[in-house]
Amino acid sequence: MTGVADVTRTALVTGAASGIGRAIADRFGAEGIRVVALDRSESVREIGATHALVVDLSQRAEIDAALAELETKGVEVDILVNCAGIQPQASDRGKNYVEDIGDGVWDLTIAVNLTAPFRLSRALVPGMKERGWGRVINIASRAGQTYVASTTADYSATKAGLIGFTRMLAGEVSRYGVTVNTVAPGRISTPLANAQDEDAIEAMVATIPAGRVGDPSEIAATVTFLASEPASYITGATVAVNGGAYMP
């Protein structure tokens, strides 16, 4: 791996079957990192990871079963990338406004986008601390930093929550050689983002100083750097990768 000589690390990536998660898993693999790929889609088994597990992150029992399977196989996770995210839509108005968000949608979004990263971190960070090295990288969103008209309150709340979780966890574990950071993508070409109305996408691109949509590989490159040894003095940070659409 870039910046880490004579050490083979293992990275667990959620949402690894497509989009940003797939790009991250592929980049790690190209860097010689063993990849544990988690996704609710069966297609995760086709990406060539060292271990590929079909896991519905909204179900706590499935998360626990996956962690137990990895422990049984003797897998020690050095790098945790919490990438999986959902933005359920139940409205015919182009997006869910707050009055459209039922309890079930709210609970599901919280479970996948925020509770799953917490539970995976809680399970895996103690091992990183014991080994004296670790990386936790949470994939949030520009919508967790500022108002984005095309997104929804439930999604934005979870991404803002990830940013706060990152800061607190970083403060607790950095003295043990474990860094915790957030990457906050802007508009990136992914199945989730591209499912939005075409007019909404065009309006969004018009607000981006870079004048284009980002590519998943650009997020993967950022994540790879944060997971590297040269990034060991970066912790508790939120790295905005958004073409200048939001400059905090």
Give the residue extent of every domain in the chain. Answer: 10-241
Task: Tell me if the pTM is above 0.85.
Answer: yes
| pLDDT tens, residue by residue, 53-92 | 999 999 999 999 999 999 999 999 999 999 999 999 866 6
**Which residues, including other chains, have CB under 8 Å from residue 51's CB and lie 6 or more apart?**
34, 35, 36, 37, 70, 73, 75
**Which residues, including other chains, have CB under 8 Å from residue 127's CB and lie 6 or more apart?**
76, 77, 134
Which of the following CATH numbers is that of domain 10-241: 3.40.50.620, 3.40.50.720, 3.40.50.10800, 3.60.15.10? 3.40.50.720
Catalytic: which of 97, 147, 155, 176?
A: 155
121-125, 194-198, 205-209, 225-229, range with the lowest pLDDT: 194-198
Q: Tell me if residue 155 is catalytic.
A: yes
Residue 77 amino acid letter:
V
| pLDDT tens, residue by residue, 87-123 | 998 666 778 899 999 999 999 999 999 999 999 999 9
Name the H helices within the chain. Answer: 19-30, 60-72, 103-110, 116-131, 153-173, 191-194, 198-205, 216-226
| 215-239: average pLDDT | 98
Q: Is 21 a residue whose pLDDT tops 70?
A: yes
